[in-house]
Amino acid sequence: MNFASDNTGAVHPKVMEMLQKANEGYAMPYGADAWTAKAEDMVRDVFEAPDAAVFLVSNGTAANSLCLATYANPWDTVFCSRFAHAHVDECNAPEFFAGGIKITTVGEAVDKFSGDDLEQAIAQWDPDNIQNPALGPVSITQITERGTLYSIDEILAITKVAKAHGLMVHMDGARFANASVALNFTAAEITWKSGVGAVSFGGTKNGLMGVEAAILFDAEKAHEFARRRKRGAQRMSKNRYLAAQMVAYLTDDLWRETAAAANSAAAQLVKGLNAIEGVTLPFKPEANMVYAWMPRRIHERLKDAGAMYYIEAGQLVGDDPEELLLARFVCDWAVKDAEIDRFLEVAAS
């Protein structure tokens, strides 16, 4: 019963097979191999973006930081949600990779922000006042850090505001697959067709071993990104093994299959939680992540039974059995129905 994150599960067997397949003979290093070329082409195909620049990196922090650094001057401010991974969970990596940018958080809502929120956040800085930071790229997370989704209309509202100010919009798609499946839109539709300029296309949380693709739809800054990737220690010598993972991911829509499995598991979990007295879900779970307020007594039972998940607000240890603590549950592609059933059984008992 591991719902701690979608990075705790195993690598999908098909990915392991592809790694094995790639492990034949010699291949030129640093991406000058056939696997890398194929992986990049497949990403371009999936995103219907034949001119995009694609770069494989080893994790989401790298993809986000390199994308933002490529589009931000060091004297810029980047705009993102106050709960964006890039802001709260990367130990200042974007600030580091971008040479000292400032992050301006947008909106008060915990999970996502609107075009109006962005307009308001931008308004606090005067681009003609050289004392203020200059305006840099906007980053949105899809699915959000609270398990909700930006609809196409919501993305369009944001990119419209950004465009009016000349700002590039980046999408942190650590769980892009889950979003694409949940929204039932193509990769192109929820990105460049909606005005998004760069994407961190996640794989690690959805069945890969450790690969994300940074995609720049306008390849103009491709060379700069390549330099930044090398200087940022994200250019792998044995790149074929990153590429093989991505090839497996995009072959026969595996990426959507695993995401669908994770989303479906979460839906099952949501259904069960909603049926339990005293449990409330503060955010509408739209993909594979679920937040729930539950009384301490339920948490105690679950933890005793070995369930793994994070308590995001409150402390497990305490006197009042009815005190509500906020839990986060994340489902990955491999979670089994039986585990969810057992989990719900324990929770409801």
Span interacting with its own copies, options 51-59, 109-117, 183-191, 284-292, rule CB under 8 A: 51-59
Span interacting with its own copies, options 39-47, 151-159, 238-246, 282-290, rule CB under 8 A: 238-246
Chosen residue from 175, 228, 256, 299 binding its own copies by CB under 8 A:
228
**Cβ 154 to its own copies shortest distance, Å:** 26
Q: How far is CA 213 from CA 34, 53, 120, 138, 260, in A?
A: 17, 10, 31, 19, 20
Instruction: Decide if residue 280 touches its own copies (CB under 8 A).
Output: no
**Cβ 349 to its own copies shortest distance, Å:** 23
Cβ pair 226, 201 in contact under 8 A: no
Chosen residue from 52, 53, 54, 103 binding its own copies by CB under 8 A:
103
**Cβ 133 to its own copies shortest distance, Å:** 5
Q: Mapping DSSP to helix (H, G, I), strand (E, B) and coil, where does residue 201 land?
A: strand
Span interacting with its own copies, options 100-108, 153-161, 192-200, 321-329, rule CB under 8 A: 100-108
What is the pairing mode between strands 169-173 and 198-202?
Answer: parallel
Using the minimum distance from each CB to its own copies, give the nearer residue, 193 or 212. Answer: 212
**Cβ 261 to its own copies shortest distance, Å:** 15
CA-to-CA distance for 325 and 322, rounded, in angstroms?
A: 9
Instruction: Decide if residue 14 touches its own copies (CB under 8 A).
Output: no
Q: What is the phi/psi pair of residue 15, to 5°? A: -75, -40
Other C-beta atoms within 10 Å of 45: how many? Answer: 12
Q: How far is CA 275 from CA 59, 104, 117, 250, 329, in A?
A: 37, 39, 35, 37, 16
Chosen residue from 37, 308, 313, 316 binding its own copies by CB under 8 A:
308
Instruction: Decide if residue 133 touches its own copies (CB under 8 A).
Output: yes
Instruction: Decide if residue 305 touches its own copies (CB under 8 A).
Output: no
Chosen residue from 134, 188, 276, 305 binding its own copies by CB under 8 A:
134
Three-state secondary structure along 53-102?
Answer: EEEEECCHHHHHHHHHHHHCCCCEEEEEECCCHHHHCCCCHHHHHCCCCE
Using the minimum distance from each CB to its own copies, give the nearer residue, 60 or 195. Answer: 60
Q: Mapping DSSP to helix (H, G, I), strand (E, B) and coil, where does residue 170 land?
A: strand
Instruction: Decide if residue 19 touches its own copies (CB under 8 A).
Output: yes
Q: Classify residue 306 by burial, with Cβ atoms within 10 Å: 0-12, 13-18, 19+.
A: exposed
Q: What is the phi/psi pair of residue 317, to 5°? A: -80, 125
Positions 189 through 208 that interact with its own copies (CB under 8 A): 204-205
Instruction: Decide if residue 316 touches its own copies (CB under 8 A).
Output: no
Chosen residue from 29, 272, 295, 314 binding its own copies by CB under 8 A:
29
Q: What is the DSSP string of 221-274?
A: GHHHHHHHHHHTT---TTTHHHHHHHHHHHGGGHHHHHHHHHHHHHHHHHHHHH
Positions 141 through 170 that interact with its own copies (CB under 8 A): none
Instruction: Decide if residue 102 touches its own copies (CB under 8 A).
Output: yes
Chosen residue from 34, 164, 233, 313 binding its own copies by CB under 8 A:
233
Instruction: Decide if residue 97 touches its own copies (CB under 8 A).
Output: yes
Q: How far is CA 225 from CA 4, 100, 243, in A?
A: 33, 17, 18
**Cβ 42 to its own copies shortest distance, Å:** 21
